[in-house]
Amino acid sequence: MAFPPDFTWGSATSSYQIEGAHDADGKSPSVWDTFSAQPGKTYNNDSGRIACDHYHRYRDDVALMKELGLGAYRFSISWPRILPDGRGTINQKGLDFYSHLVDSLLEAGITPWATLFHWDMPHILQQEGGWLNRATADAFAEYTQAVVGVLGDRVNDWMTFNEPQCFLGLGLETGVHAPGLKLLTNDLFTGLHNHLVAHGKSAQILRSSGGSRFRIGYVPTSQAIIPASESASDVDIARGAFFSYWADHGPLWTVASFTDPVFFGRYPEDGLAAFGSHLPKDWEKDMALISTPIDFCGINLYSGIHLTVDANGVPCRAPVPAGIAQTANKWNVEPETLRWAPRFLSERYNKPIVITENGLSLTDWVHMDGKVHDPARIDFTHRYLLELEKAIGDGANIAGYFYWSLMDNFEWAESYKERFGLIHVDFATQKRTIKDSGFWYRDVIASNGKSLH
């Protein structure tokens, strides 16, 4: 089975991870600016103050994207550049940056895909409670309106939220990400619910602005659950496990707690039974808003868990084999991740699925010949894409694939320790070098996946 002729091939980044220019042209601090300024919060105490300096170098970066032949580029917009007070006065210079970026992309023949929230909440709103404060959802609606008013004539593909599990789970539960809080379950579910309300309000604004021209999506992440075999019963068990709570994942870590509200207008039964009492009062009244119809389900996928059954026949994690292939940040290399997770999502929600992120970290460098040889990135991506093709063969509706990331960048609490890019960035000089994997991916795109065989 081949990739469909209109399949979208792209690459992704996010604002705080690449832009730098942390206080340029009226931008206010985001929670990531204030968090990474505190000693001990990030590896080497680094931050995204400069990062890839993409804010000043976006034209060169778009030229590199063109060289790679990208069909689409997924980037995120920095809320504190657009509304430095979180709401209210619009900072025109912030909007201009994205408007120029979008023009450059379109001139290069690259379709812009815009994410509204990839974790850089205005610090000033965090001080008012952030996602714990329902008024933040109204501010997010204002922000959506400001962005769409300027970019909506040229951008058709929109994503409201990126990986809510991370800004809630890592930001508010374990505190290893900004804003670095360790809250109680009650607060976590208030945050979960309020961000869903914000998603609903934003989706309504997008729809009323762009009608059916806009394709609106929502982007959670998940570990894939890989069935013990391809037998129908093992696949059923894996599907069930994929959409269920796993106690060892903590209260938030199941994709259905995010996608069921958005696509079905309800929280999953098992989640409600376990955590319903933690949801804010009158939550039921918001479910129609939260499930405002949208067009696609994005999903960020990196790794997966193999399933087996225990002595009582209960599904559980299969032991991880000794010496399993791992990325530099020790995530298991599990190519079948791209077969099962998108397929299960496609079957359950009956919407096009877009792999909005997939990739790996390595510690690659510029070799003596001036090139960056990263055969492991090529091998990883090759294996994952062959499995994605199988999912398409299984009948899953997969509309696109975005490699994470376009270029090496600020990897949150891990700073610049490892590299995810198709393009190497020398952070001392800002020199960019397309890696071997970038040229390899160019051929995959140009052949619509045929070069994988």
Pick 91 or 405: Cβ nearer ligand GCO = 405
Residue whose pair of structure tokens reads 């968090």 in the numeric block: 35
Minimum gap (Å) between residue 217 Cβ and ligand GCO:
13
Pick 33 or 357: Cβ nearer ligand GCO = 357
Minimum gap (Å) between residue 356 Cβ and ligand GCO:
8
Pick 54 or 390: Cβ nearer ligand GCO = 54
Secondary structure (H, E, C), the chain: CCCCCCCEEEEECCHHHHCCCCCHHHCCCEHHHHHHCCCCCCHHHCCCCCCCCHHHHHHHHHHHHHHHCCCEEEEECCHHHHCCCCCCCCCHHHHHHHHHHHHHHHHCCCEEEEEEECCCCEHHHHCCCHHHCCHHHHHHHHHHHHHHHHHCCCCCEEEEEECHHHHHHHHHHCCCCCCCCCCCHHHHHHHHHHHHHHHHHHHHHHHHHHHHHCEEEEECEEEEEECCCCCHHHHHHHHHHHCCCCHHHCCCCCCHHHHHHHHHCCCCHHHHHHHHHHCCCCHHHHHHHHCCCCCEEEEEEEEEEEEEECCCCCEEECCCCCCCCECCCCCECCCCHHHHHHHHHHHHHCCCEEEEEECCCECCCCCCCCCECCHHHHHHHHHHHHHHHHHHHCCCCEEEEEEECCECCCCHHHCCCCECCCEEEECCCCEEEEEHHHHHHHHHHHCCCHHHC
Pick 334 or 357: Cβ nearer ligand GCO = 357
Return d(Cα 418, Cα 67) in angstroms, integer: 24
Which residue lies nearest ligand GCO, judged by its C-beta? 163
Pick 61 or 163: Cβ nearer ligand GCO = 163
Return d(Cα 310, Cα 269) in angstroms, integer: 24
Minimum gap (Å) between residue 453 Cβ and ligand GCO:
28
Minimum gap (Å) between residue 403 Cβ and ligand GCO:
11
Minimum gap (Å) between residue 52 Cβ and ligand GCO:
13
Cα-flanking dihedrals φ and ψ of residue 129, to 5°? 110, -15
Minimum gap (Å) between residue 169 Cβ and ligand GCO:
11
Residue 77 CB-half CA count within 13 A: 34
163 in catalytic set:
yes
Minimum gap (Å) between residue 166 Cβ and ligand GCO:
5
Catalytic one of 19, 163, 387, 418: 163
Binding site for ligand GCO (CB under 6 A): 14, 17, 162-163, 166, 300, 357, 404, 411, 420
Pick 91 or 259: Cβ nearer ligand GCO = 259
Pick 401 or 420: Cβ nearer ligand GCO = 420
Minimum gap (Å) between residue 418 Cβ and ligand GCO:
9
Catalytic one of 173, 334, 357, 389: 357
Pick 14 or 104: Cβ nearer ligand GCO = 14
Enzyme catalytic residues: 163, 357
